[in-house]
Amino acid sequence: MSDDETQAQLRRGLRIATLLVAVLTVDVLGLINLLRHLESHVVPAAQFVAIVALTVVLGTEAVLMIRRKPWQFLRWPALALVFGASALSYLTLPDGKTSTSVDWMFGATGWVVLVVLLDRPLRTVATFLVAHEALALVNLLLFHDVSRGTLARFATGSVTVFGLPLCVAVVAAVLGRIGREAVKATRELEGIRTAEAVAEAAHQRRTQRFAELAGTTVPLLEGLADGSLVPSDPAVRRGCAIEAARMRRLFAETDTVENPLLHELRHCADIADRKGVEVELDARGQWPVPPVVVRRDLTDAALTALATADSWARITVVGSADLVSVSVVADCAEPVEPASATPHVRVEIFGGDGTVWMEAQWQPS
């Protein structure tokens, strides 16, 4: 299970627990208190309307939770309904009954507010809980006889009415912060592991490629070292030029560029340019990035022609989503057709009158 899923399950569990407490407070304890003290209310119907309004909000939360949806645009209408029901209950409350067992709304509103705002920042929850306390206090001061005992009862009741939902909101905020930090740390660790894996894979590819080059480069260097090969031999110079171009291409394969195929061809052409060969490179169209092994097959034909060109060479790259073609025309002796490492690349060679045309084609599909 991923950290995101674990965090989502923690939030969902806390959401379920908060809803159960709110249902117990409103539809069980609140309804019991309302029915027990029904004769004390001047307008009992107003109290039933208020409890139905809160039940509608809790029912909406249950539906959203089952569908795994947040409140979104329903949040503010729900809060308006909660505070409207609270105001209706307070305005029809009997005199002197604020924050008593008759005042079932006093202990219920905070939990319903918390249900709606559980996924919001702590300061938002605290603001609306304070607004609920202020609404109850204003009702007490304006519409009821105020005494020291009444204020003491209100203050004592506020400890649980305000404090318990706030504690749950603090727990939700802490869990959310811990979850975010855990997800952030996990993603950073995954990024480090991915970078290490990429570096290791790149090192293995380079090691393998150097081993492949050793099969053709090392014998050439050994021959030059022991004197069995002489630099004046045209075949030796041709082999050195080809191996130099392959090494330049190998170094270019590790570069991060937008078009690796053209980038590697330019490095291959640099060897011919250093010999004084006039090289022209033309690219047309857009194509997907070929894999490394395919790019090697596409550039092998070009680099062999570039390495043996006498004075000029022209490289043309034409590509689309269905076909990529690399062709080269040069004034050189007919080179040996390079061996293809993948069956998806087809190489054709034509030559005559000191000019050679070579083309490598790759079909991405």
If one counts every other C-beta atom within 10 angstroms of the C-beta of residue 28, the result is: 10
What is the model's pLDDT at position 43? 83
What is the model's pLDDT at position 342? 73
- The residues, ordered by sequence, that sit 6+ positions from 353 with a Cβ below 8 Å of its Cβ are none
What is the model's pLDDT at position 226? 87
Rg (CA), the chain: 40
Can you tell me the distance from the alpha carbon of 114 to that of 162, in angstroms, rounded to the nearest whole number? 11
What DSSP designation does 73 have?
G
pLDDT in tens, the chain (365 residues): 555 666 677 778 888 888 888 898 888 888 888 888 887 777 888 889 989 999 999 999 999 988 888 888 888 899 899 888 888 888 887 766 666 667 788 878 888 888 888 888 888 888 888 887 777 777 666 666 666 666 666 666 666 777 778 888 888 788 778 777 877 887 888 888 888 888 888 788 777 777 777 777 888 888 888 888 888 887 788 788 788 888 888 778 777 888 899 988 888 888 788 888 888 999 999 898 888 888 888 888 788 888 888 888 899 999 998 899 999 998 876 665 666 667 788 888 887 777 888 888 998 87
DSSP secondary structure letters along 215-282:
HHHHHHHHHHHHTSS-TTSHHHHHHHHHHHHHHHHHHHTTS--S-HHHHHHHHHHHHHHHTT-EEEEE
What is the model's pLDDT at position 340? 63
What is the model's pLDDT at position 335? 61
Domains along the sequence of the chain with CATH = 3-188 (no CATH), 230-362 (3.30.565.10)
**To which residue do tokens 């802490």 refer?**
174
Q: What's the distance, CA 70 to chain centroid?
A: 20
What is the model's pLDDT at position 108? 83
What is the model's pLDDT at position 317? 92
Q: Is the pTM of this model over 0.85?
A: no
